[in-house]
């Protein structure tokens, strides 16, 4: 029987490759108390990300925290004119902040895999924030080429009052599609992990 080329459309592969976020490791300071997020004043800081994306990442994380009842604002908004770490810490204490929520991009890597088949031919690529995306192929006899992008992020929560790290976690997100949805999923997953480790009620 003669096999016909089957076009694997970018839309189908995009739907099949929705972003998934999981934490590989977490840490909670032994003396960090369990707290309720509702009403807590939180500053959100995006670190080690391109300047053009910093505002979007911070805003998306702050938005998710606010949905949970926190009073979150972004460092981009709050720290205008602040030029040193000491000045930033003093401002947070003076303005009554409870915590600093830091999202730090750690690494990004691509994994290429293909299903068994007769071969593939390049179809094209799509691009997105931070170069997320990948090449897709034209499959023959059921084969396809798939590129998965994995983004590693360290989330750190500092207690302003204690002036120390209260919680941290390293996460990996596979195939994020855009900044807003990625940051929202990361925040939701981080909150769940903090509840598991006893930082949040």
Spatial CB neighbours of 129, under 8 Å, sequence gap ≥ 6: 53, 176, 178, 179, 182
pLDDT of 88-118, one tens digit each? 888 999 999 999 999 998 877 666 655 554 3
Task: Supply the pLDDT for residue 44.
Answer: 96
pLDDT recorded at residue 29: 95
Q: Which pLDDT score, from 0 to 100, does residue 121 have?
A: 34
Buried b (16+ CB within 10 A) or exposed e, 102-141: bbbbeeeeeeeeeeebeebeebeeeeebbebbbebbbbbe
pLDDT given at position 164: 92
CATH numbers and ranges of domains, the chain: 5-30+37-195 (3.40.50)
What's the whole-model pTM score?
A: 0.74
User: What parts of the chain have a pLDDT lower than 50?
Assistant: 1-17, 117-141
């Amino acid at each position: 029987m003669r096999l016909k080329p089957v076009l694997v459309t970018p839309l189908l592969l995009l739907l099949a490759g929705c972003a998934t976020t999981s934490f590989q490791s977490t840490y909670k300071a032994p003396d960090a108390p369990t707290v309720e997020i509702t009403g807590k004043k939180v500053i959100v800081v995006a670190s080690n990300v391109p300047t053009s994306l910093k505002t979007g990442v911070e805003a998306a994380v702050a938005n998710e925290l606010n949905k949970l009842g926190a009073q979150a604002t972004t460092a981009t908004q709050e720290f205008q004119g602040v030029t040193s770490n000491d000045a930033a810490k003093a401002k947070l204490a003076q303005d009554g902040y409870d915590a600093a929520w830091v999202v730090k991009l750690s690494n990004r890597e691509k994994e290429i895999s293909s299903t068994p088949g007769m071969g593939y031919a390049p179809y094209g690529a799509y691009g997105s924030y931070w170069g997320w995306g990948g090449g897709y192929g034209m499959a023959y006899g059921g084969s396809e080429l798939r590129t998965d992008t994995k983004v590693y992020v360290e989330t750190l929560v500092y207690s302003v009052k204690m002036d120390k790290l209260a919680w941290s976690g390293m996460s990996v997100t596979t195939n994020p599609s855009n900044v807003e949805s990625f940051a929202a999923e990361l925040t939701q997953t981080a909150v769940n992990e903090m509840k598991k480790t006893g930082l949040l009620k």
